[in-house]
Amino acid sequence: MRGWRLPVLVLLSLMLSSCGFQLRGSLPLEKYPAVYLQGDKHSELLQQLGTQLERNQVKLLDSSDTTAAIFVLDSDSLQRRTLSLFPNGQVAEYELIYKVNYQLILPGQEPRPYQIELYRDYQDDPSRALAKSKELDLMLTELRSQAVARIIRQFGRL
């Protein structure tokens, strides 16, 4: 009865490897061995992007090079839109809109502009302002991580 487990495990691992399965977060970026990141060096989005690119074995350049891809972060912003109000008129729920405008400049090509918009609902509670402030910071970090993942996927598609 125990003898069937090993062959089944080997068969499953062969099937997964033959279909091209890869763990999330590791994308093949062989086309871009080096990238220059241009934008506000204190931007958390740019820092997260740099970290993810390095994890994918992409070298980050200190200055632009004509043979390397250039990522230009034009802007990233967070906007709030009121969704609902408490009976006393205070805001009960917001919709957070995180926008990223960037350009990819590939060697020998014109810049390609891109925009990412991510949406989240956020419930506000004025009586717990400190906790809600921390929750908003965590949500913004998550939105940045999702934007970085989309940018990395965009690099992989080009």
The pLDDT tens digits of the residues spanning 101-126 come to 999 988 888 999 999 999 998 887 76
Tokens of 3: 């003898």
Looking at residue 148, its pLDDT comes to: 94
> Which residues of the chain have a pLDDT value below 70?
1-2, 17-29, 126, 158
3-state secondary structure of 54: helix
Buried b (16+ CB within 10 A) or exposed e, 12-33: eeeeeeeeeeeeeeebebeebe
Domain ranges of the chain: 23-157
Q: Using an 8 Å Cβ cutoff, are 156 and 29 in contact? A: yes
Looking at residue 19, its pLDDT comes to: 62
Fold adopted by 23-157: Double Stranded RNA Binding Domain (3.30.160)
The pLDDT tens digits of the residues spanning 122-142 come to 887 767 777 778 888 899 999
Looking at residue 21, its pLDDT comes to: 53
